[in-house]
Structure 1
Amino acid sequence: MLVEDDRAVGVRLSDGREFRADIVVSACDGRTTMLELLKGRYLNKTYERLYTRTIDEPGMLYPGYVSVFLGLGRPFPQGEPCTTYLLDEEEAASFAGMGHPSMNVQFRSAHYPELSPRDTSVVFVTYFSDTGVWRELTDGPEQHSRVHKGEEVHTLAVRRGPAYYAAKRQVQRAVTEFLDRRFPGLAESVVARDTGTPLTQVRYTGNHNGTIAGWLPFMDGAETLEKEVNRNGPVAPGLKDFYLSGTWSTIGGLIRAAAAGRHVTQFICRDDGVEFTADIDRTQPPPTQIVIPVGLPPAPDSTVPQPKEHE
């Protein structure tokens, strides 16, 4: 973050390029923003406590999750589009790091048929997971920056070690077997798999401990943050022309995180002495969903290819 005379004036990328701006809005990990990008210079007592102590207390953040995508070489119309299964202790033991004995299963292509070719299905399975369990299994870095095709990138795959990959494969097997018991024939129709862990979320988003939505509502951290934002706005105390947006500037994630951008705009208007107004340009056609064809037509059942595994 570029700061001059307690005023945010732009950002410097890891490759050295600088982008100057009248206003800087941070929509990335809150702890990284306050302690690393701003080097801890703009912490009041509330933010100092939130990002140096509260954030690491048990139960203050949403956990990360494990996600398993299965591509099926046939349709499964009998599957409920979205179901949460409650697991017993024995079933839950098969899923590494499972924090709550439950698993959400979505037949995504039932709602979004454009996700896969005709007569195929996409299944999306998730469960909340303890990041620490996956950290104990890895012997590689959580993120690694390197130049790829002439550009420095920070989200390319990293090597994590055999124990980590073995645990991912075990989760894939457990998910497939669990679903096959409920939808006989599902296992033999799997043609592609992809599995993510809380460390995958760390690699792609940089979110602290791979949390999926930041502060957990109704806990001390979330209540403290909400009071701070209500009192002073989504800002870093003492830093002009700088605002906080996204998951870490609100609580609950999802729609509130998206609405945080509008919230920031209201504060920018206030600070610039401009009235905030919102309207819809009805002269333009309404937004439409763009359908992009995917893949090749599925092979006949007798020649369904072996599953492809993405680590």
Structure 2
Amino acid sequence: MTVIKDLPSNNQLEYFIEQARQTTAITTAVVHPVEGNGLAGALEAAKQGLINPILIGPEHKIRQASEEINADLGSIQIVNTEHSHEAAEVACNIVRQGEAQALMKGSLGTSELLGAVLHKESGIRTERRLSHLFVFDVPNYHKPLIITDAAINVVPDLYTKKDIIQSAIDFAHALGNEHPKVAILAAVEKVKANMQSTIDAAALCKMADRNQITGGILDGPLAFDNAISKQAAIDKHINSPVSGEADILLAPDLEAGNMIAKQLIYLAGAQSAGVAVGARVPIILTSRADGVLARLASCALASYMVHHGRKI
């Protein structure tokens, strides 16, 4: 795959998809795809050569959904289950047996799927905290932008943030970025005793100095403006190797990350894709509001992770 630094501007997600098409499709357990939108996304990804789907859920509902969207399931494997909870458990079991390289969310709640993933005995958790990564193609930013965590960890503590950052760095490595730059966001650029996000940022940077976090270049606390704009950093007299060149934005909490992500989509015209990391395999978490591009790009990102061969 072509490395991230070679990506053209303004069609970055399409480029990820094109590169993933040139590799072997990854076997993906699609959990409870009983509605047309979710099933169509999996089938389109299969058509594009990104995934080899295993459809897991009530077979009669899956086939009914396929009829509603006029899709031919052909020889695609279907594993029949009674309900969504069983589908999530069966999908995790398939992963544990080495028969699937990724999970894909169908028509069930994220919490239900992740509950099965994180189950102490039957799940596919690892020692690292599960987290979510958005990858954005922002029209007025010169490279892909990763934002984490905007979907799973509500109020992450210091050690959870450590895992979130390390997973994001490893993910960037899978995309071909050998030295990703991480901006640890807060409302201000100075450490304030009454602002926990700034204290965490300072601690995380020192953890990187002590090799507790590896593979990236960290700086923080940084406000959003001087993380993204070199000129904003200059105006505020901030000398940072990350300002204006951030590859990864670490949000202080889920609410902040989610707001940044949706503002980029709805106000800045950004395109996005996303995956959950920290389990044995990448988890493709798509929303019912996601379009075809987001679904395909999310599958492509999972493909990068699998073919990179790195546990993230």
Same fold, judged at TM 0.5 (above) = no
Q: TM-score, normalised to structure 1's length?
A: 0.23
| Structure with more of its chain in helix, by fraction | 2
Structure number, greater radius of gyration: 1
Q: TM-score, normalised to structure 2's length?
A: 0.23
